[in-house]
Structure 1
Amino acid sequence: MRSASEMHRSVMERKTEADAMILAAAVADYTPTGGPQSQKLRKDQRIETIELTRTLDILADLGCWRAAQSKPVLVGFAAETEEMLEHARAKLKAKNVDLIVANDVSRSDTGFAVDTNAVTLVSHDVETSVPLQSKTQIAEVILDRVEELLMGRGPEAPQKVVSEAAYRNSAP
């Protein structure tokens, strides 16, 4: 993939193939208007502003498409620095998804630059706080919740969801 629009197109082309889709981050919220430059910008060109265009929102577009059906289960993330739960609840509703994994990235022991995280799983019926632990453990908790959501979808739901970590641990 070379652009947010290519990623959007690829995901939308494959959306019917999945039972669950976990979108861990936005590709980019904005992109330079007009796309990449064909030549290097030199310092002496004195570009003082770069015009930006909002990119397509893959998660919101999936939620809009999925509104008329029961699958796939859609999971998004909300990395917040303030009013984490309020923003996560708003995102859950606005993007029509099943679960938002909210985390406070202003903390020094969670977020992007460390191997640990603490999150709150926000769904339409329950909010679950997950205390500080490794990101691998957080991923297992998220997959367990996705499995619960899938099992609640009725007879067309898959019989079992296996995480990569569980698969690795059971392999000979």
Structure 2
Amino acid sequence: MAEGYAGVGRLAEPETLCAQINVLANADEQTLSGKHVVVTAGGTQEPIDPVRYIANHSSGKMGYAFAQAAVEQGAQVTLITTVDLTPPPFTTVVHVKTAQEMQNALQRYYEAADLVIMAAAVADYRIAEPATQKMKKQQDTTALHLKLVENPDILAELGAQKTHQYLVGFAAETQQLLQHAQVKLEKKQADLLIANDVSQTDIGFGSADNAVTLLFKMKRLLPYQRCVKLRWHVRSYK
């Protein structure tokens, strides 16, 4: 079975084998065994017309790192993503584009989830009525006016619906980081909020590293100056 055919006896991909070996090797330390973890990743895209959309700079890397950590800790992982990165082995991957699609996907998996990590950057607004055909440049004007309407506040919805879930939100800010993050933590009814200053180019959107502060419901702060190891906080989420 060495010619790419699928069937009994076909060797699994090397990265899948390595991941399985790593899971088995750390079986005694798997703090999330038997838990269902839902992670969102990437930035949503709100269509203007069939070829253009409103988006943001989120790369999805942090969400994928959390998904990887959860897999390695023995969790059943559902990854709801807007980006096409290579997912961790053993994850259920759900591809979405818009905020409304992400909302619908989360509603399908939320009830059975134990831990929900909302790492995706969800657009606050969308185009009220996207054009069905490509919008042409108008010769008699230099301005384009788009009507925006508010997207659903997914984190707030999940916070209000919580029964047993542990809910993790994110705050990407350019100023007054901790003040804005604390307000968001309380308003959205999250259990933990991860706040990062995206105005710093070396730790902002798309960077390989990050620096964040973790805010808990009891007003406890836990700063991560360089959070290569941040994903391991998922091991002791309660």
Is the shorter-chain TM-score for this pair beyond 0.5, marking a shared fold?
yes
TM tier, smaller: 0.7 to 0.9
Report the Cα distance in structure 1 between the residues aligned to 2:206 and 2:101, rounded to whole angstroms.
27
Percent sequence identity is 39
| Corresponding residue to 2:194 among 101, 121, 133 | 101
Report the Cα distance in structure 1 between the residues aligned to 2:201 and 2:132, rounded to whole angstroms.
40
Report the Cα distance in structure 1 between the residues aligned to 2:197 and 2:186, rounded to whole angstroms.
19
The answer to whether the Cα contact below 8 Å between 1:98 and 1:123 also exists between their aligned partners in 2 is: yes
Q: Pairwise CA RMSD of aligned residues?
A: 1.6
Q: Which residue of 2 aligns with 1:3?
A: 98
Structure 2 counterparts to residues 78-93 of structure 1, below 5 A: 78-93=171-186
| Corresponding residue to 1:50 among 124, 146, 152 | 146
The structure with the largest alpha-carbon Rg is 2
The answer to whether the Cα contact below 8 Å between 1:104 and 1:119 also exists between their aligned partners in 2 is: yes
1:113 aligns with 2:206: yes
The answer to whether the Cα contact below 8 Å between 2:170 and 2:195 also exists between their aligned partners in 1 is: yes
The answer to whether the Cα contact below 8 Å between 1:32 and 1:53 also exists between their aligned partners in 2 is: yes
Q: What SS does the corresponding residue of 2:109 show, helix, strand or coil?
A: helix
1:64 aligns with 2:160: yes
Report the Cα distance in structure 1 between the residues aligned to 2:106 and 2:136, rounded to whole angstroms.
36
Q: Which residue of 1 aligns with 2:28?
A: none
Q: Which residue of 2 aligns with 1:138?
A: 230
Q: Which residue of 2 aligns with 1:164?
A: none
Bigger CA drift: 41-50 or 11-20?
41-50
Structure 1 runs (4+) deviating above 4 angstroms are: none
Q: What SS does the corresponding residue of 1:92 show, helix, strand or coil?
A: helix
Structure 1 unaligned residues grouped into runs of 5+: 150-172
